[in-house]
Amino acid sequence: MQVIKTLPQKHLLIFCVAAAVPLLLIALLFNFPLATGGHYFAGTSQKVLGDLVHSAFLAAASGILPLIPLLFSIRNPLLRLVPKAIFVIFGFTCAWIAHAIAGTAGMLFYVLLVFVTYGGGTLLIFDWLSSVTRTFLTLLRWSAALFIYVTLQLHLNLDVDIENWKHTNDVVDFGASYFYILCLLEVVLYPALTWYLEYRLQDEQSYSLALDGFGRTLS
């Protein structure tokens, strides 16, 4: 049995917490007009924030698709290029669909929001994480993002069709709430889960190896 490689705990937690930074920055863009009486941060507007919210839904709903090939652990160096190639193809397809729905700005927002919604910096160490950790956290982020998005729509009494409210004042309250909640999950929940899954798995494997060694000694 091969021992699973893991990052040092300190480095792992740094990557996990860093995943929250882009979400916090986006949330602050929405918080700015709330704190300044309707003034928008330089370079942004109600339309830009509306496009961000629209792209956030597309990212939450479909962003998991390009990541699916990366959830599998493949040890052969050459074969490991296959899921990465599929990832690029899926990613390009989803970005093209986002462009067709929301234009160039929407496509750029979509790519950014897929990155920040599904782990941000932790995607850079995907290969270091076990397939169990990758799969569990990816599915959890996907379901949590969709649940939070729909729940906020219902709570704020917003229309199901985003086009009907994405360029209204409602988008500011919605966006601030949505991205602050995602940021909170990245800070509080996901680092603890990542650490638990990675190092509990490592401990169980070490225990299994010890039992195998003990069994061979007895035999």
Report DSSP letters for the chain, one per residue: -PPPP---HHHHHHHHHHTHHHHHHHHHHHHHHHHTTSPPPTT--HHHHHHHHHHHHHHHHHTHHHHGGGGS---STTTTHHHHHHHHHHHHHHHHHHHHHHHHHHHHHHHHHHHHHTTGGGGGGGGGS-HHHHHHHHHHHHHHHHHHHHHHHHHTT--SSGGGTTTSTHHHHHHHHHHHHHHHHHHHTHHHHHHHHHHHHHHHHHHHHHHHHHHHHH-
Q: Has residue 168 been placed in a domain?
A: yes
Answer with the residue of higher pLDDT: 213 or 131: 131
Answer with the residue of higher pLDDT: 73 or 145: 145
Report pLDDT for 215: 47
Evaluate whether 162 touches 57 at the Cβ level (below 8 Å).
yes
Q: Has residue 2 been placed in a domain?
A: no
Beta carbons within 8 Å of 144's beta carbon, 6+ residues apart:
182, 185
Q: What is the mean pLDDT of residues 78-99?
A: 76
Q: Does residue 37 register a pLDDT over 80?
A: yes
Q: What is the mean pLDDT of residues 118-128?
A: 68
Q: Has residue 4 been placed in a domain?
A: no
Q: How confident is the model at residue 3 (pLDDT cuts 50, 70, 90)?
A: very low
How much is the mean pLDDT over the chain? Answer: 80
Q: Has residue 116 been placed in a domain?
A: yes
Q: Does residue 24 register a pLDDT over 90?
A: yes
Enclosing domain of residue 70: 9-218
Evaluate whether 156 touches 174 at the Cβ level (below 8 Å).
yes
Q: How confident is the model at residue 167 (pLDDT cuts 50, 70, 90)?
A: confident
Report pLDDT for 214: 40
Least confident interval from 38-42, 111-115, 148-152, 204-208: 204-208
Q: Does residue 144 register a pLDDT over 80?
A: yes
Beta carbons within 8 Å of 99's beta carbon, 6+ residues apart:
106, 107
- Structure confidence by residue, pLDDT tens digits, 96-110: 888 887 778 888 888
Q: What is the mean pLDDT of residues 108-123?
A: 81
How far apart are the C-alpha atoms of 153 and 147, rounded to whole Å?
10
- Structure confidence by residue, pLDDT tens digits, 145-160: 999 999 999 999 999 8
Q: Has residue 36 been placed in a domain?
A: yes
Q: Has residue 120 been placed in a domain?
A: yes
Residue 216 tokens, joined:
């061979």
* Domains contained in the chain, number: 1
Report pLDDT for 187: 87
CB atoms within 10 A of CB 69: 18
Q: What is the mean pLDDT of residues 27-39?
A: 93
Q: How confident is the model at residue 124 (pLDDT cuts 50, 70, 90)?
A: low
Least confident interval from 14-18, 168-172, 180-184, 206-210: 206-210
Q: How far is CA 50 from CA 27, 103, 166, 176, 196, in A?
A: 13, 13, 4, 12, 37
